[in-house]
Chains A and B, each alone.
Chain A
Amino acid sequence: MPEITRDEVEHLANLARIDLSDAELDHLAPQLSVILESVASISGVAGDDVPPTSHALPLTNVFREDVVVPGLGAEAALAGAPESEQQRFMVPRILGDEQ
């Protein structure tokens, strides 16, 4: 019987970069276990000889002409940025005690 413990949810949230509150962890863990239990019903339905399908269409190697086309200008690309400076995205510090 698959089950996701509260600690596991905390770890997964950490991997997914979401700060879940204690209340959210209490709330989500049992719900996720119920969902997981339900979806686990498909184990054993398909034999190992069945190939996986990742995509509905058998398209491979879709190319375009190697031609330069205009992209977004810096102004448009930065228009939605929380902060910008000198035509660049301004981000919080990326080095420090966590590294």
Chain B
Amino acid sequence: MSADLTRRTAADLAADLAAGTTTSVALTQAHLDRIAAVDGGPDAGVHAFLHVDAEGALAAAAASDERRAAGSPASALDGVPIAVKDVLATRGLPTTCGSKILEGWVPPYDATVVARLRAAGLPILGKTNMDEFAMGSSTEHSAYGPTRNPWDLERIPGGSGGGSAAALAAFETPLALGTDTGGSIRQPGAVTGTVGVKPTYGGVSRYGLVAMANSLDQVGPVTRTVLDSALLHELVGGHDPLDSTSVDQPLPSLVDAARRGAEGDLSGVRVGVITELSGEGYQAGVQARFEESLELLVKAGAEVVEVSCPTFVHALATYYLIMPCEASSNLAKFDAMRYGLRVLPEGVDSPSAEQVMRATRDAGFGDEVKRRIILGTYALSSGYYDAYYGTAQRVRTLIARDFAAAFEKVDVLVSPTAPTTAFKLGEKLDDPLAMYLNDLATIPANLAGVPGMSLPSGLADEDGLPAGFQILAPALADDRMYRVGAALEAALHERWGGPLLDRAPALAAQAGPTDANGASA
């Protein structure tokens, strides 16, 4: 057992709190101290946070300690602090989505998942950095400066949820929430050596999630262990009448599945390796760790077979038509009229609302957002709609059919999460297609609405950086990936003699934390 509270898992901390060996105030303060020590700001440090709410977190922690002293904790995780991706609305806390167009915006309401965190007693440490409106795979598209990978501060932490994943990898928080539209929880998990889960579409409420692509977005847990993800997933998941796409049926217990999996017996579980999502195009070290993980699954009793999903090779192109169409429609609401940035065009007397709108959207949106808005506007234009959006929707059907056929043969599907380990900051910033390729293996799950998990599979030999192992399950069978993931995690920890993050380099102390505006927090 580590004496350092920040090194402990959320499940450990919950047990510590229940046993009375620590308090929520003590462990919230420990994480705030860690943030102050290593997070830095736009120019140095991890920069996982855009906004830190020390006062609010400590007040929530004190209230949690009072509940516990009175013998009535609000949930199993009452008092365990958490960080929230800045795309989720938090009442009274800035929510920028990593964009200048929402700089300084303070939502008047909570996202349902945030309301559930508060009701369950989890102190919210702050809001985490992200690619602008969740568009990107490196967090370099944040208007407030990139997040840096705790394994190597010159490398990307993945994206769009690089802030949440890096905060976990840097031990700045024991839990975080992310969102995943094409891999934004899983790919950052892979390149930072952390665990991330995209639940079944409709499994977790999207109310208060600032939408990029409504039919693909899903909120999910970002943690350091499979069990911690299960605990958080159960806490925020479940039906929400405020989200009309929320599924109104109970899921099997995910925590039970994770605990059962950790016992290590996968007898009778059929695991399918997706032919199209490994091998060629995947970095050798990523592929090697993937294959070793397969061997461990076999040792645990699983039956591993290869399964072909031929239409998955079209998933990336399908995604890059459907997503911009939905995104361009969604982002139309940023019109400088009711909230957010308002910029007056230069040299225009008494500008019209439309001129203000144009000037604001040019000044407030970054390059990647503009690319996707223009692309979506194009693909939805009269005369192109059928050729692009219509075609993509039909291929989406074929991808869902491939999943359905595969899940008749196997219980879960697996692949490497991302084709490479973390690349250098700036390396792919001006080559959109190269950036998009990061999501090759994660996108099919979003198109079909099935759940996906990424967990660390080890370090690639060539660069010593983390690689990720992805597990996909049928819709509403999220429990299967928790069982298989926990079994693999247990076997890997045994092989490594502890968690992978024990091998991450120590981080240098930074001058001090900064908020989104660059001012001292």
Contact = CB atoms under 8 A, between A and B. Distances in A.
Contacts of A94: 352-353
B334 to A, nearest CB: 10
A69 to B, nearest CB: 10
Interface in A32-79: 32, 34-36, 38-43, 45-47, 50-57, 59, 62, 64, 72, 76-77, 79
B314 A42 contact: yes
A1 interface: no
A12 B335 contact: no
Nearest to B218: A56
Interface string B452-464: 0000000000000
B61 interface: no
A31 B374 CA distance: 11
Contacts, number: 185
A51 B374 contact: no
A60 to B, nearest CB: 10
B342 A82 contact: yes
B339 A80 contact: yes
Nearest to A44: B391
Contacts of B262: none
Nearest to B400: A53
B7 interface: no
B336 A82 contact: yes
Q: Could you tell me the dominant secondary structure of chain A's interface residues? A: loop
Contacts of A21: 362
A22 B240 CA distance: 46
Nearest to B241: A64
B371 A46 contact: no
Interface string B413-432: 00000000000000000001
A43 B339 contact: no
B14 interface: no
A18 B358 contact: yes
B342 A62 contact: no
Given A17-B335, A17-B361, A36-B375, A98 B352 contact: yes
A96 B393 CA distance: 41
Contacts of A45: 311, 314, 391, 394-395, 398
B365 A93 contact: no
Contact of A59 (B202, B351, B367, B447): B202
Given A16-B374, A38-B433, A39-B321, A54 B393 contact: yes
A4 B467 CA distance: 37
Contact of B374 (A12, A62, A91): A12
A93 B393 contact: no
Nearest to B387: A43
A36 B378 CA distance: 10
Contacts of B362: 18-21, 24
Contacts of A92: 344, 350-353, 355-356
Nearest to B321: A39
A58 to B, nearest CB: 10
A53 B449 CA distance: 11
Interface in B339-397: 339-342, 344-345, 350-359, 361-362, 365, 367, 370-371, 373-375, 377-378, 381, 387-388, 390-397
A17 to B, nearest CB: 5
B359 A19 contact: yes
B397 A42 contact: no
Nearest to A89: B338
B361 A42 contact: no
A9 B320 contact: no
Given A54-B393, A82-B336, A59 B374 contact: no
Contacts of B337: 82, 89, 91
Contacts of B373: 16, 18
A58 B93 CA distance: 35
Contacts of A24: 362, 367, 370
A39 B244 contact: no
Contacts of B336: 82
Given A4-B378, A55-B215, A17 B357 contact: yes
Interface in B295-346: 311, 314, 317-318, 320-321, 328, 332, 335-342, 344-345
A32 B374 contact: yes
A12 B492 CA distance: 51
Interface in A5-19: 8-9, 12-13, 15-19
Interface string B68-100: 000000000000000000000000000000000
B195 interface: no
A97 to B, nearest CB: 8
Given A52-B396, A56-B449, A72-B108, A31 B432 contact: yes
27 contacts: A16-B361, A17-B335, A19-B361, A32-B374, A35-B432, A41-B317, A42-B314, A42-B395, A43-B387, A45-B391, A45-B398, A46-B394, A46-B395, A47-B394, A52-B390, A53-B400, A55-B215, A55-B449, A76-B109, A80-B108, A80-B339, A82-B340, A92-B355, A93-B350, A93-B351, A93-B353, A96-B350
Given A17-B357, A24-B362, A96-B352, 12 more contacts: A16-B328, A19-B359, A19-B361, A20-B370, A39-B318, A46-B391, A56-B400, A56-B447, A56-B450, A80-B106, A81-B338, A93-B352
